[in-house]
Amino acid sequence: MPSTKQRTLIKELDTICSRLCLDYWNSNSSPEWKTATQLELTLRWIVRTAVIDNYAFVDEILSCCICRYMFGKRSFPKLWRTEKFRLFNYYVIEPLNLLPKLAFVNDISRLPKEILADIRKLNDLRNGLAHSFFPENLKGQRAMWDHKDIFTSDGLAGFLEDMAKISEHFKDVTAHYRWKADKGSTNV
């Protein structure tokens, strides 16, 4: 039996998914809503969300690596209580984009070529999806992952497998995260 909190969250999720037209499985949806166009928009929204979520997670991993290098392995909750750490995060870490963070981490720990390549591909994919409604129309392969369309189950599966490899590589940094490679999501 679900707890009160679980029931509240399920109700909230149902409402949000309905408002965002993401509840395609709901048989009460009107037939005109289930057009191929609307279903494709739903698919694109879900995939974009997965890519951007994984991008944010990798960005967080790289930020943690930099902070560990600069401040040692003290716990982050304790570090956040110090002004030096807060200022470093606000004025150094936050303004940095993913690629400068990647270059810094690579300089301090020499990342495997496959991990470097996958994080760079993630950056390109995320930029394509975040900055264009039709990334397939951009120059280059901005909606692809390993030559597969990211908006297909094969493309997304390959992407999620590679994201799990990145997480595995940084497992000492991500030990406090529970990674769900099959779903490509994280729980803190």
Do 157 and 44 touch, CB atoms closer than 8 A? no
SS3 category, 113: helix
Distance CA 74, CA 39 (A): 47
pLDDT at 156 over 80: yes
Do 145 and 125 touch, CB atoms closer than 8 A? yes
Q: What is the chain's percent helix, strand, coil content, to nearest 5?
A: 65, 5, 30
pLDDT at 96 over 60: yes
Q: What pLDDT, on a 0 to 100 scale, did the predictor assign at position 178?
A: 43
pTM: 0.82
Q: How far apart are the first and last CA of the chain?
A: 24
Token representation of residue 172: 């000492």
Q: CA distances (Å), 58 to each of 8, 82, 117, in order? A: 30, 25, 13
pLDDT band, residue 47 (cuts 50/70/90)? very high
Q: What pLDDT, on a 0 to 100 scale, did the predictor assign at position 2?
A: 83
